[in-house]
Amino acid sequence: MLFQIDTLPQINSIFIFDFDKNQGKELIYQHSKFIGIYTELDDLYSSIEEQIDLDDELFQTFSFFDQSEYLTHDLSKQTSDLFWYQFFNNIILQSSSDQLAKNEMIDFCRQYYQNNLKYLKLIDDFEREYSSNKVIQWYLNKSLPYKMIKRALQIKDMDQQYALRYFMCDLVQSFTDQHQNKIPYDNENLTVYRGMKLWNDQLKEFKKNERKLLLSHGFLTATRHRSDALNFAGKSIRQTNLISVVFEIDLNSQDFNKFVIFTDIDKCNKYSKQDDILFSLDIIFQLDNIEFYENFWMIKMHPTNEGKAILKKYIEDTHRQIEDLSMEILFGRLMLDMGQWNQSQTYFERLLIDSNSTDQAWIEYSLGEIHHLKSEWNMARKYYDRAYYRMIDPKQRRIKDSALVLSDIGETLCEQGKFEEAMNYHQQALTTRKEYYSSHHMHIATSLRNIGDIFFIQNKNDEALSYFQQALVILEKYYKYPHIDMGKCLIGIGLCFREKYNHEKALEYHRQAIEIYEKYYPLGHVYIAVILNNIADLLYRQEKYNEAIDIHQRALKIQKKCYSFDHILLASYLCMIALINHGLRNYASALELFQQSLTIQQSYYTSSHVKLICNLNNIGDAFHRLGMFDDAMNFHQQALAMLEKYYPSFQASIAFTFNRIGDVLCSQTKYDEAICYHKQALMMQKNDYPSGHANIAFTLKNIGYALSRQEQFDEALDHYQEALSILEKHCPYDLGFISSSLNVIGIILISQEKFDEAMDYFQRALENQKCYYGCDHLNLADTLTYISTVLCRQKKYDESVITCKKALEIQEKYYPSGHATIAITLNQIGWLLQSEKKYDEALRFYEQAQSLLINIGNSYPSDQWLMADTLRNIGYVLYLQDKNEEAVVYQQRALSIKEKILSQDHTEIMSICIEISRSLRCQAKYTDACEFQQRALTIQEKINPLNYSSIVDRLNDIANIFGDQGKYDEALLYQQRALGIREEHYSSDHKNIANDLISIGYLRMQLKQYDEAIEVYQRALSIRDEFCSSDQAAIANNLQRIGYVLEKQTKYDDALELRQKALKIYETLYLDGYASTEVLDQLNATHAVAGILYGVDICFVFNRKLSDNENREEVQNSVKELLKKSKAVKIYDNNE
């Protein structure tokens, strides 16, 4: 921990108090900032005081200014320290320095030093002994009130300065009295010196600002003796990264009467040896040059009047916008612009008590603006109203100025979500301004920008963009150089391009804006944090999440300096980091942050505010991703209800919410309802964007997805293709969106088994993503997994696995601690290996996925869903390995999880029931197997009664189970139901109709219903002859089945005839021209068990008909060889 503290830049010195008195002193030498180790409190206190005094001597804060820019640019709303210290110097002289002020100062000091006996005694001495003519003596004593004044000036703490005004007024006034400057000097010019230490970064700033202006944050002291300054600069201190410097300041006689007091301290040894010259607070220096000598840097400078000229220009530029503002009002508004809202508020509240009638309206207006900036909108409105009625009072009649108040009331109403009322105020302000100002005045631009803000919030982006651009043109003519007001327009234009999905152009405008703001607010400001948050949002939308996080952290750091944790602006920052987490698929973290943001918003906004709606949708989307569909629907429905009630004209927002509801319904397998919502959204968007828009493409993709889930692939593909065309036309610069569309088209093509076309789309998507994101973005991993699926379907298994492992590498780089996305890819690799029949390897990957999911936790439905899928995969590969008992255990666990998170009639429940049934059937647990198949059938008939293909599959499976049990009557009922459905709804599916007929024929035969069996076999044969004539093997099989039934009926001649026909087909198909036994031998060598058994059957017929024992023996030997090869010898022996 000590090493970590030592590296912190904000820590200057470290002291250790050793309670046990056993700390080794070597620590002092190991850490550069350690001052010492102390065992006595008095020694510790003394050392700390010495270090503070030394730091006070050696360190000083400065600001630099480029006078060339200050003299040419419009300075209104500039926030320079140069203005603050010069204003303060003048304002403090107007403060009261009576007995009341003295008493307030004494009370403040006693409160400040309430536990410090030494200083309490000094305060008593001050109360008794102080007089104005001793102000320099008391100040340079560096105890009371020197330290308080120095600290207050360093941080520009106006509250403390006000409390110390009694003393400060005397101190500043002493430069006017100049009775101290009676010390004789030989020449008109004088050079004085000041030794100190600078950090390396500070020295770099001095070098960078050579020939520019310099201001000290406080009263600077110096000495006439160069040696004293050198001694101070060369003092040995522990910090090794500090640089010794000496200021060499050239003065002339004019400076003595304005900026300098000769303190004549040579007679008083208790003062510092650098205190014989005291400079005024408002002195400005010009930095002449910097030179390095043997062991120190010499910084040469001289006082200049340019600071006064710059302050005068600042006042003139401000008066060009608001006439006749007094110095007191200007100073308060400077603090306001600097972001010192609390100090500005306190200052104006004090001023309000003592103000004249002329200033009162501006004080109230300024207090309104402060409360507005602090999001205290009701209090802001109270002060705005007071200021407005005072301005329109017939005695004052400042109608022109009242437009400023109207404009700010409009902004307040806008932030409160009262957009129509806000628009009325902005229109009224614009009308007034047009009466008093030229069309190219900045106030006209402000009104146009304000109106643009309303249009933007109302999703009228084209109108908003037009107003922002008009305003920017006016401001460019008015200011000629970059100005803070132009920055606001640039932000608005950037946001409009964001809504057009032109993120690069939006970023360009925001970067221009932040360049202006950072120049105006070099020490940081909440406005900079807002722009940074916007930039983070743009990077998030481009899916550049790491960059977005870096920018967001910068914004949050600035924001935390300005606001408390529960301030309304923090809600925006929480929302932003939540969105980034959402993009990174950290949905649980995103949900928590969205909820925190909503809680803050609810404490500020009315229950109908539009920003609440946005967050409700965000929370709904997070719940959706976590698989909590009911919660998701609840939040989206809340958002929709608020929009329809309070913002019915916000068609784009309503369409957005319709789409979110549709997404949830789709996840709930309510596809028809989902499509209904998406189509409502589409209709609104087409009305809103008659020329087309990317949002239309996203809705078309939503519809396409819902259709694809219903296996309506052609329609889905049409919607996806239309979406892609729109994106390529209206959003060509966002290759991320285009790549996503290419991928979904590829997925549909996989479903249609158009693998080459699918691969083309995925490859195009991958190339786009590499151009847009680089080579290691998460989205590339998704595309690689799609490509691996195609390769697998093309039976290119090795390439498929290699490609999927590339995706895994990218994901593991993004998520070094593990993530559900990695588990999905591990499952994918397992599936690929399983497709290649590498079951043991597949099982290892599935088990890795299971282990990862256990480690990262699975408290949300989406995690549980993935765990269930992983267990299903393990179960299925065990089933393929004939480890059916183990398989059922995993499948049952998967079912148990999904039953907890899904409705009992969900398609996923159905799928697992089918898998369990098959595993049970392999264990001859027919009753249980049939129950699971029956449950699957019930679910299928409920959730999608029109999916006849799946219903037929279930009926066939149930029939097979009954058949395995020898329950042929029950099996026949289910098989006939399957055939009836297929003939009614898939009459052109001749192949499968024939297969169903064959299955029925088999059951009829088992029931010894030979005539009926022959009838259905003949029907099957007729269908195959007419519609499937190319499948000669199937026709031959059909012939031999009929022959087998005829044999059962002892119609051997008919049976032999049909089997000979079948044999001729086999001979033609396999080895045309061979004798029967030779054909059988060839079948034995080259064909599957089913084909072999057909050959066995034909041998049985010959066996019965042949009288020649030798020939009979030859055939029987062939049969035995076939059966041996087919591992069916026992069956043959039983039939023998």
Q: What are phi and psi of 195, to 5 degrees?
A: -95, 140
- pLDDT at residue 174 above 70? yes
- Closest Cα to residue 856, out of 881, 884, 823? 823
Angle between helices 327-337 and 81-93 (to 10 degrees): 140
Band (429; pLDDT cuts 50, 70, 90): very high
Which residue blocks in 989-1031 are alpha helix, DSSP H?
Answer: 990-1006, 1010-1027
The residue type at 858: N
Within-domain flag for 556: yes
Give residue 385's pLDDT.
98
Torsion of the alpha carbons at 160, 162, 164 and 168, rounded to the nearest 10: 120
Within-domain flag for 588: yes
Domain match, 700 and 728 both: yes
Band (658; pLDDT cuts 50, 70, 90): very high
Q: Which of 574, 598, 630 is where one domain is finished?
A: 630
Domain match, 12 and 97 both: no
Q: What are phi and psi of 355, to 5 degrees?
A: -75, 160
Give residue 1098's pLDDT.
52
Which residues sit opposite 199 in a β-bridge? Answer: 242
CB 598 within 8 A of CB 616: yes
133 token code pair: 């003519």
Output Rg (C-alpha) for the chain, integer angstroms.
Answer: 44
**Distance between CA atoms of 652 and 655, rounded to whole angstroms?**
5
Q: Is 117 helix (H, G, I), strand (E, B) or coil?
A: helix
Band (188; pLDDT cuts 50, 70, 90): confident
Any residues with CB less than 8 A from the CB of 627 and at least 6 apart, and which? 667, 860, 861, 862, 863, 864, 865, 901
**Distance between CA atoms of 1058 and 1080, rounded to whole angstroms?**
17
Within-domain flag for 613: yes
Give residue 1126's pLDDT.
45
pLDDT, average across residues 403-426: 96
- For tokens 């609104």, name the residue: 684
Domain match, 45 and 134 both: no
Give residue 1105's pLDDT.
47
- pLDDT at residue 919 above 90? yes
Each residue's pLDDT tens digit, 211-222: 999 999 999 999
The residue type at 381: R
**Distance between CA atoms of 1070 and 1085, rounded to whole angstroms?**
11
Band (962; pLDDT cuts 50, 70, 90): very high
Give residue 1072's pLDDT.
43
- pLDDT at residue 568 above 50? yes
- For tokens 């059937």, name the residue: 921
Each residue's pLDDT tens digit, 307-343: 999 999 999 999 999 998 999 999 999 999 998 999 9
Give residue 51's pLDDT.
66
Pairing outcome for strands 277-279 and 260-262? antiparallel
Any residues with CB less than 8 A from the CB of 482 and at least 6 apart, and which? 73, 515, 516, 519
Q: What are phi and psi of 441, to 5 degrees?
A: -85, 150
- pLDDT at residue 244 above 50? yes
Cα-based distances in Å from 177 to 69, 132, 171, 172, 257: 34, 11, 10, 9, 9
Each residue's pLDDT tens digit, 990-1018: 999 999 999 999 999 999 999 999 999 99
Half-sphere exposure of 507 (CA within 13 A, CB side): 17
pLDDT, average across residues 90-112: 92
Within-domain flag for 708: yes
Residue 223, Cα to own-chain centre: how many angstroms?
Answer: 57
Contacts of range 596-602, beta carbons closer than 8 Å, 24 or more positions apart: 597/571, 597/572, 598/571, 600/566, 600/567, 600/568, 600/570, 600/571, 600/574, 601/568, 601/571
Within-domain flag for 624: yes
680-684, 877-881, 892-896, 1025-1029 — which is least confidently predicted? 1025-1029
Each residue's pLDDT tens digit, 380-398: 999 999 999 999 988 778 8
Give residue 1081's pLDDT.
46
Each residue's pLDDT tens digit, 301-312: 999 999 999 999
- pLDDT at residue 516 above 60? yes
Q: Which of 160, 177, 194 is where one domain is finished?
A: 177
Domain match, 528 and 624 both: yes
| Mean pLDDT estimate for the chain | 88
**Distance between CA atoms of 206 and 200, rounded to whole angstroms?**
10
Any residues with CB less than 8 A from the CB of 184 and at least 6 apart, and which? none
Give residue 1125's pLDDT.
46
Q: Which of 698, 732, 766 is where one domain is finished?
A: 732
Q: Which structural domain range is residue 553 located in?
A: 521-630
CATH number for 707 = 1.25.40.10
CB 452 within 8 A of CB 490: no
Q: What are phi and psi of 565, to 5 degrees?
A: -65, -30
Quote the pTM value: 0.79
- In the chain, pLDDT over 70 holds for what percent of residues? 88
Give residue 560's pLDDT.
77
Each residue's pLDDT tens digit, 586-618: 999 999 999 999 999 999 999 999 999 999 999
**Distance between CA atoms of 1045 and 1005, rounded to whole angstroms?**
7
Band (1119; pLDDT cuts 50, 70, 90): low
The residue type at 896: S
Domain match, 654 and 599 both: no
**Distance between CA atoms of 152 and 136, rounded to whole angstroms?**
18
**Distance between CA atoms of 573 and 597, rounded to whole angstroms?**
8
Give residue 1121's pLDDT.
57
- In the chain, pLDDT over 90 holds for what percent of residues? 70
- For tokens 């807002």, name the residue: 530
Domain match, 534 and 610 both: yes
- pLDDT at residue 54 above 80? no
pLDDT, average across residues 821-849: 95
Cα-based distances in Å from 284 to 151, 301, 742, 948: 20, 10, 63, 89
CB 163 within 8 A of CB 26: no
CB 901 within 8 A of CB 861: yes
Within-domain flag for 235: no
Give residue 25's pLDDT.
54
Domain match, 37 and 127 both: no
Give residue 22's pLDDT.
65
Give residue 55's pLDDT.
63
pLDDT, average across residues 676-704: 95
**Distance between CA atoms of 16 and 36, rounded to whole angstroms?**
6
Give residue 1083's pLDDT.
44
**Distance between CA atoms of 885 and 211, rounded to whole angstroms?**
87
Domain match, 575 and 602 both: yes
Domain match, 50 and 81 both: no
Q: How many domains in the chain?
A: 5
Cα-based distances in Å from 970 to 39, 724, 758, 979: 96, 52, 44, 15
Distance between the two ends of the chain, CA-based, in angstroms?
89
Give residue 1082's pLDDT.
39
Q: Report which of residues 39 and 101 the model is more confident about.
A: 101
Give residue 61's pLDDT.
87
Any residues with CB less than 8 A from the CB of 424 and at least 6 apart, and which? 410
The residue type at 1031: D
Residues, the chain: 1136
Any residues with CB less than 8 A from the CB of 573 and at least 6 apart, and which? 529, 533, 552, 555, 556, 559
- pLDDT at residue 890 above 90? yes
263-272, 440-449, 951-960, 1041-1050 — which is least confidently predicted? 263-272
Give residue 1073's pLDDT.
40
Q: What is the DSSP string of 230-295?
A: HHHHT---S-TTEEEEEEEEEE-HHHHTTTEEE--GGG-TTS-TT-SEEE-TT-EEEEEEEEE-SS
Give residue 265's pLDDT.
54
Give residue 933's pLDDT.
96
CB 662 within 8 A of CB 700: no
Give residue 3's pLDDT.
52
**Distance between CA atoms of 884 and 868, rounded to whole angstroms?**
18
189 token code pair: 């010019």
Cα-based distances in Å from 79 to 300, 340, 481, 1048: 27, 11, 16, 106
Q: In what order do the strands lie in the sheet with 277-279?
A: 221-222, 277-279, 260-262
Torsion of the alpha carbons at 287, 291, 293 and 298, rounded to the nearest 10: 0
Band (551; pLDDT cuts 50, 70, 90): very high
Domain match, 526 and 625 both: yes
CB neighbours of residue 520 within 10 Å: 19
Query: Counting Cβ atoms within 10 Å, is residue 654 exposed (0-12), middle (13-18) or buried (19+)?
Result: buried
- pLDDT at residue 71 above 60? yes
Domain match, 31 and 101 both: no
Within-domain flag for 576: yes
Which residue blocks in 480-625 are alpha helix, DSSP H?
Answer: 484-499, 503-520, 526-541, 545-562, 568-583, 587-604, 610-625
Strands, DSSP E only, in 403-506?
none
Give residue 11's pLDDT.
66
Within-domain flag for 1076: yes
Domain match, 620 and 544 both: yes
Residue 269, Cα to own-chain centre: how many angstroms?
Answer: 63
- Closest Cα to residue 166, out of 136, 121, 123, 135? 135
Give residue 60's pLDDT.
81
- pLDDT at residue 29 above 60? no
